[in-house]
Amino acid sequence: MVAAICYALGFITALFILYTEDRDKFIRFNAYQSLYATGGLFLLNLIGGFILGKVGVLTQLVDLMSVGIWLLIIAVCVLGFMNSYQGKIIEFPIVGRIAERKTRGI
């Protein structure tokens, strides 16, 4: 259940779980993966909106990009929550490998 909570509020709950959990590798893997996936997408949305939002012509494109990124964040949270609640490991592209290395301490 704790591994599933890592995805409940994205990187916010992941940071809290990483701060409190230091032994269970399954929980830590899911916390790192949630942190990197949702945190990275959130930063991409923030930076992309800030940079591209300055260009007046691209405001509609920025809005569309923002909606797409938020839908992706929600999908990551739902898929991560469901799989970790069932005890399954799902590795998201790119961040799954990074989370696995971080969990093993490499």
> What residue spans define the domains of the chain?
2-104
Q: What is the pLDDT of residue 57?
A: 66
Tell which wins on pLDDT, 4 or 61: 4
CB 67 within 8 A of CB 45: no
**pLDDT for residue 106 is more than 60:** no
Q: What is the pLDDT of residue 29?
A: 93
Q: How does pLDDT run across 14-71, given as a tens digit for each residue?
A: 999 999 988 889 999 999 999 999 999 999 999 888 887 777 667 778 888 899 999 9
Q: How does pLDDT run across 74-98, given as a tens digit for each residue?
A: 999 999 999 999 999 899 999 999 9
Buried b (16+ CB within 10 A) or exposed e, 15-41: bebbeebeeeeebbbbbbbbbbbbbbb
Question: Structure pTM?
Answer: 0.87
